[in-house]
Chains A and B, each alone.
Chain A
Amino acid sequence: MIPVNAGLQEQRSYNFGYLNEVTKRMLRRAILKAVSIPGFQVPIAGHEMPLPPGWGTGGMQITAALIGRSDVLKVIDQGADDSINATSIRRFFERVTDCRTTSSTREATIIQTRHRIPEERLSEGHIIVLQVPLPEPMRSLEPSETVTRRLHAFQDYGMLYVRLYEDMVRLGDAGGGTNHPVLVNGRYFAAPSPIPTFDNHKLDRSPALMLFGAGRHRRIYAIPPHTSVENLSFRDRPFVVRKVEGRCSVCGSTESYLDVISDDNGISGFVCSDTSFCATRRIGEPVGSRA
């Protein structure tokens, strides 16, 4: 008979980075493949993380597979380090690695992020890990995975352009608000994850490595450093970057992406969505790191 408490006897602490080494190796292989074929969605097996699927588990799997003892991790959610889910993910990696974490973009080597790309200039040492809810840019137009895979293979992106045209005709506006599809390295269209279109240009020829992890959909894709990234658009109707016009009431920035702050009387002001950027401007130096 199997003892009733089988499995609970092994009171080992979790492996460095939570995932076991075999799983990490499978993920690293997928990441290498993703980097080799920019924009292509590489399938991975699903590995349960202690956060629910849909809460950044794709990003967490990438981070867990890559993080090493010399890494410094930054986690942001909607641009903010102190957003509650970012705090939760950062705490998780503090618990399962002995890595240093930081809120400074400059200091970090791995930045896991949801829905934003940091304002500060990224550099070659940076790995940006984006959490992706839906990796397939054509999914809302074509539900079948078999069909969209074939369309990618034939580089048949007609339906994306038709949707763009229809939006233009019906709404008079062709730009998306978030998650506007991008053409990576002139070959594959990819979903940039729900970043605002304001952030899209940061993907183009970025010196940082951009990795995208979709946990629930079990896909990893990548934009390697210095890779060309174009926004889905027509040549005669250029892509429009949308941004709320205003000035950060904390640091005075007008060029950063701003969150609207409302009170009972309506809009009362603006504040930088990127808290690290805002703090750096305010103090004039990066905010302190955490041990």
Chain B
Amino acid sequence: MLVAIRGGEQAIENAERLLIEQRRGDPAISELSVEQIGEQLSLAVDRTMNEGALYDRHAASLALKQAQGDAAEAAFLLRTFRATLPRAGYSEPLHTASMQIERRITPIVKEAPGGQYLGATYDYIHRLLDEKPTGPDKSPISTDNESDPIIAPHLADRLARDGIAEKLPSANSGADIFDITRDPVMYPANREVRLQSLSRADEGFLTGLANSTLQGYGENFPLVTELRVGDVAVDFTIPELGFAVTIGRVTLSECEILNKKLDVQSDEPRFTRGYGLSLGRSERRAMAMAVNDRALKGRDLGEAVQCPIEDEQFVLSNADGVEAAGLLQSLKLPHYVSFQAELKRLRDIQAKHLLRGENSQ
């Protein structure tokens, strides 16, 4: 039965009012504040900032509240907010080697210069649902600013100096960087386009793809060189001043991986590398991004492109969660003209088949 979905402004307004009621839930239960979301659901806020491509904890918390906690919808809200913001310029390249470390692990070496810090992690916590209050029941153990900040050099840099890991070109200044929010993405895409696209991609999609290659789709099984989480200064050159000043600090998660696939094109074979960087405390995301980055470098390294994770158009054009959700959900729009046109074609073809059958008898 074909029924056109039609309805005017009243229907849309009613839908919005219903949604507001549903979002609020039982009025007898006190309303969540944006601050509560920012403080107590901070990992959800981090994911929203990543996929919304905007470092703004308040806006991301608000987006989560407005989206009833739906990660895809919250990222979308943050993106549209971002699209309207004026652009001041590009920061200086972030110096993550100067990160104030709150967590750092180097799984491939027992003792890395700078040390390892477990920090706050779910890794070794038994995942048992616990109805007990979540507040601290002992005196706080976090030391905040009392002790000296921990700074550690990148292990991968050391490995590159030692002729083990691939050597990378130094960072470009902002003006030369391709910007996917201002320039059209074309294929083949260079690495900065890939990294920018991966950094705002849907985390589930990235994790799934990374898993595919760990399971054997493409030989991209990596080793994690280093994973670090902490605060990094953002420096911005103000034209009127002519020099860079620190305008803020951001919490970042960074992951470097090594791949046993060697760069056979270079004079000296070395382990190849992948890189992931994400906003807030989101190390799973940084790891997935690093695995994807390495797999997508295959074309540059002269490797055969055989698996989905190695195909940049496949990965980049499907990874954006906001876009993917949008297209999928557009199937809810009325399609009666399209359906009817295709139905007429089907009937025409069926009629011809029938005719053919009769003729051949």
Chain A residues within 8 Å of B, Cβ to Cβ: 1-2, 4-8, 10, 14-15, 18-20, 26, 43-55, 57, 77-80, 82-85, 87-88, 91, 114-116, 133, 143-146, 171-173, 175-178, 194, 196-198, 216, 218, 242-244, 257, 259-264, 273
Say yes or no: B249 contacts A1, CB within 8 Å: yes
**Chain B residue contacts of A176, Cβ below 8 A:** 345
Which residue on B lies nearest to A167, using beta carbons? B349
23 A/B residue pairs, CB under 8 Å, sorted by A: A7-B56, A8-B58, A14-B84, A43-B184, A51-B326, A52-B327, A53-B322, A54-B326, A54-B328, A54-B329, A55-B333, A78-B335, A84-B6, A87-B8, A143-B313, A144-B187, A176-B345, A177-B342, A177-B346, A178-B338, A196-B340, A196-B341, A262-B2
Which residue on A lies nearest to B333, using beta carbons? A85
Q: Is residue B57 within 8 Å, beta carbon to beta carbon, of the partner chain?
A: yes
**Known contacts A46-B181, A84-B7, A146-B313: A194-B338 contact under CB 8 Å:** yes
Say yes or no: A48 contacts B86, CB within 8 Å: no
State the Cβ distance, A196 to closest chain B Cβ, in Å.
4
Chain B residues within 8 Å of A, Cβ to Cβ: 1-9, 11-12, 38, 54-59, 62, 76, 79-86, 179-188, 247-249, 313-314, 317, 322-323, 325-330, 333-338, 340-346, 348-349, 352-353, 356
**Chain A residue contacts of B82, Cβ below 8 A:** 48
**Chain B residue contacts of A53, Cβ below 8 A:** 322-323, 326-327
State the Cβ distance, A3 to closest chain B Cβ, in Å.
8
A6 to B248, CA, bound (A): 11
**Chain B residue contacts of A77, Cβ below 8 A:** 333-334
Say yes or no: A82 contacts B7, CB within 8 Å: yes
Say yes or no: A52 contacts B344, CB within 8 Å: no
State the Cβ distance, B64 to closest chain A Cβ, in Å.
15
Most chain B CB within 10 A, of A7, A45, A80, A257, is at A7
A92 to B269, CA, bound (A): 57
**Chain B residue contacts of A198, Cβ below 8 A:** 341
A178 to B346, CA, bound (A): 12
Given contacts A50-B80, A177-B343, 19 further A-B contacts (CB under 8 A): A20-B86, A45-B184, A48-B322, A54-B330, A77-B334, A78-B4, A78-B338, A82-B6, A83-B5, A84-B11, A85-B334, A88-B12, A146-B187, A177-B342, A196-B338, A197-B341, A259-B2, A262-B1, A273-B337
| Chain A contact residues: helix, strand, loop or mixed | loop
**Chain A residue contacts of B314, Cβ below 8 A:** 143
**Chain A residue contacts of B328, Cβ below 8 A:** 54
Which residue on B lies nearest to A146, using beta carbons? B187
Say yes or no: B344 contacts A244, CB within 8 Å: yes
A19 to B84, CA, bound (A): 7
Say yes or no: A259 contacts B336, CB within 8 Å: yes
Q: Give 4 closest A-B pairs by Cβ, nearest first.
A: A52-B326, A43-B184, A54-B330, A54-B327
Say yes or no: A218 contacts B182, CB within 8 Å: no
Which residue on B lies nearest to A217, using beta carbons? B317
Say yes or no: A84 contacts B341, CB within 8 Å: no
**Chain B residue contacts of A145, Cβ below 8 A:** 186-187, 313, 317
A32 to B77, CA, bound (A): 31
A87 to B57, CA, bound (A): 33
**Chain A residue contacts of B85, Cβ below 8 A:** 7
Say yes or no: B59 contacts A8, CB within 8 Å: yes
Say yes or no: B182 contacts A26, CB within 8 Å: yes
Which residue on B lies nearest to A197, using beta carbons? B341
State the Cβ distance, B227 to closest chain A Cβ, in Å.
25
State the Cβ distance, B151 to closest chain A Cβ, in Å.
19
Q: Which one of A4, A52, A259 contacts B329 once the chains associate, using CB atoms below 8 Å?
A: A52
